[in-house]
Each structure stands twice: as structure tokens, then as C-alpha cells.
Amino acid sequence: MMRNDMAVIMAGGAGMYLKSGMPPVMAEIMGKPMVARAAAAAVNSGIGTVVAVVPAKDTHISEYLKSEFPGKTIHCVEQAVPMGTAHAVLQAYEHIKNCAEAGGNVLILNGDTPFLDANTVCSAYACHKSADNDVTVITAIVSKPFGYGRIIRDTERRFKGIVEEQDADSEVKKINEISAGTYWFKAEKLLEIIDRIPPRANGHYNMVDAVSMIISSGGSAGTFFAPKPDIILGANNRIQLMELNEYAKRQEIEMHLTAGVDIPFRDGVIIEPSVEIGIGTCILPNTMLKGKTKIGKGCTIGPNTVVTDSTIGDNVKLNNVQCTLSVVKNNADIGPFVQIRPNSVIGDSVHLGNFVEVKNSNIDTGTKVSHLTYVGDSDVGKRVNFGCGTVTVNYNGKAKFRTTIGDDVFIGCNTNLVAPVKVGDGAYTAAGSTITEDVPDCALGIARARQVNKIGWKLKK
């Protein structure tokens, strides 16, 4: 629908007001930089060409956008000195020229408006096209319009222009319909004026003046009213950034509640937008669900749990658990104080108890690792019982090796399994053993010195 059209994301500007060394558009809302959310609105609406205007000599934004949207071409052009919104758009002049030759339209949006979505972009585009406007301004009604450009209308409610906060008199400041700073332009019309916009007193060039130039020259200008005022929300300081995160957090939680997820208390619960949760699952306080995490039905997650980029099956219990880049299958019971490190697969009905750490390992159905155990670089079979204090010794100082444990194995307390080593099906290891050689099926591996009592040893000391 929009193959001949383009978007310009204004992502330049200094981050001084956020007191950060990073560009302000890289400030995160619920785990994602604001610029990623803005770019998603453009990409997901089907726009053919997306151009991000970024600060000169700053690779953070361009590198991030390439990694965030693989397979999508997002062009980045530099703005050497931030001199206003129109100056930022001017940096994309060649792309706008190509768009104009193709008879397309240009979407202008800010990189720090994280709640603009593709539905709003597409609806505004349809309004822009049906009215045959040279420019269409997206507007919203807000309760606190301070700092935003006010929408001016005549007595018949026709759009007459935008007045910035610093230019507004007391009457104009009472207006609560504001510009979202997002526009659709005919590319041909934008090309005519973008390099002719006069500077303001501070030397900056403003897109509001581009709209004024079109209106004063007799061009057609209209508005699209966005029913959700949150699309205009941005952050000019860290207090506002915190408020945006709180707003996004509340939205996400309410969406999951509506879908049948039980969240009895919001305290410390953070669910990022890419997370999926099945019905009947309960999320307890101080739980963070991050990245591309998928959680099944009927689970109890938390309290004090962090799950990142992992897949959790049905009816799983995670209590005081950190799980990263791993899979936990159905009916597993894990915690408290368990860490599951990347590339681990925890099988059906597995129990991992207090102070257990698993790394790059596969643990099969019904196995129990009850407490104080490290399982690293290992392949563990079904129905294995780990005694307290077991360690798979996977690193010799130069290289890492794997441990293989068969089905129905009993690992005695304080066993060290020095990889590479294999314990066969049905085998046992004696408590306190350091196993350095394979243990055959159904054998008992004992690797410890016979006890010797030194009679009267203390008296001699």
C-alpha cells in the first residue's frame, strides 16, 4: 500500500536533558529504546523507505536499528549539528526527492514518541490520501497541553495552523488540541519548501513553519485526530522517562489481565511487549519477563523471578529464579534461588531446588536436583537423583568438556564429576567421590581414600 512512500524519523539531537552519554532516542521504555518503537510504527505500516536522521559520528542508533529490523532497509543520514526539526528532515533531501519522483508521500515522526503505532500511521495516511491534502497533521486532545504546539481552527472548525508554546498568548494556551509532531506530506510539496523554511530567532528550522508555508501559499492542509492521546507522549527529562515506563508497564499488565493472566499485585511486575503468557498463569510480585519470552498455561511465576528470552511450558513453577535463553518444559518445579543460564533445556516434571545452577545443559524428564549443585555442560537422563553438593567439573583451565549421565542414576552427595566423563544407566556414585573415569551401567563408582583414624593425634599436637 505504501511502497512508494517513505518515513523520516528525527532521531538526532543531544542527550543533555537526560544527562546521558547516549542519544535521547536510545532511552528505553520497557526494555526497548524509544527509536525502536518509532521505527516499528513506520516499518509495520508497510512504508517502502525508512530514513533515520541520526547525530553525526554516532553509530549507536544506526547499528541498533540494523540489528532490530533484520531484512529491513533503514537508511541512516547524519545531522552534523542539531538545528531543529526541519533541518533534520532536510538531511533526507535525496530520499525525499526520489519519493517525489515516484509520486509518494512522506511521514515525518519523532524518534522519541514511543507510543505512536502502525494503526495510527495507516489511519492518518488514509485520511491524508482521501482528502488529497498537501499536509496532514496528527493531533490529539490532552489534559496538560503545556509545551506542545496548539492546533488553531476557525469558527467552522477548519484547520488554520499550529502555534508553538513560546509563541502562544494566554487564550491560545487554553487550547488542549495539540500537534503530535507527526505529519504526512505529499513528497512533491515537501520538496518544494524544505530548503526554503526561514530560521527562527534561535537559528533553528521548524517543521511547524513548513505547515504554515503550505497554508499561506493556498495549499491544502488538514488534520487527523488520534483518539489515543498517548501517541504524543515523550520524555524531556528522567522524571518524564520514568512516567513513560510506568504508563507502558500499566498498559502491558492490563492487556494480560484482560487476556486471562492472574496478576494479583502490580508491585515490581514488569512484562515487556514481546512476552506471551498463557491463560491461568499467575505472575507474582517482583517478577520481570523480558525479551522474546513465552510462558504457557497454568504456571506460577515468581515472586522475585527474572525470565529473559526463554520458553516456559505449562503448569511450571518458578520461585526466585533467574532463567535466560533457555527452555523449561511442562510441570517443572524450580526454586527457590535457582539460576538457569543460557542454552539449557529443563525437561518435563524436573525439580531444581534451592541454590542450584544449570548452564548449557539438558536435564531430562523427572530428574531431581534438590540443592546446592552445579550442572554445567552436561546431558542428564531421566529420573536421575542428584545428592547435595554435586558439581560437574567442566573446565580444566584451558577448555570445557561435557558430562553425560544416563537414566535412573543416583549421584551421591558431594560428588565431583570431572568431565569428560560418562555415568551409565542405573549407576550409582558414592558420596564424596571425585569421578574421573566412566562408570558402567548399574555399577557403583567409588573414588575416595579409605578412612584412617589417627589415634591420639590431637594429644601429640
Which are the catalytic amino acids?
371
Shortest CA distance to 2 belongs to which of 172, 89, 126?
Answer: 126
- Answer yes or no: are the C-beta atoms of 250 and 233 closer than 8 Å: no
φ, ψ at 419 (rounded to 5°): -75, 150
DSSP state of 231: G
- Answer yes or no: are the C-beta atoms of 411 and 394 closer than 8 Å: no
Q: How many CB atoms lie within 10 A of CB 426?
A: 16
The SS3 of residue 343 is coil
DSSP state of 198: P
Sorted by sequence, the CB contacts under 8 Å of residue 453 that are 6+ apart come out as: none
**CB burial readout 179-200, b (16+ within 10 A) else e:** bbbbbbbbbbbbbbbbeebeeb
In the numeric block, which cell numbers belong to residue 110? 519523532
Largest CA distance in the chain: 110
Long-range contact pairs involving 341-348 (C-beta distance under 8 Å, separation at least 24):
347/382, 348/313
Q: What is d(CA 386, CA 213) in angstroms, rounded to the nearest whole number?
A: 76
Q: What is d(CA 70, CA 36) in angstroms, rounded to the nearest whole number?
A: 13
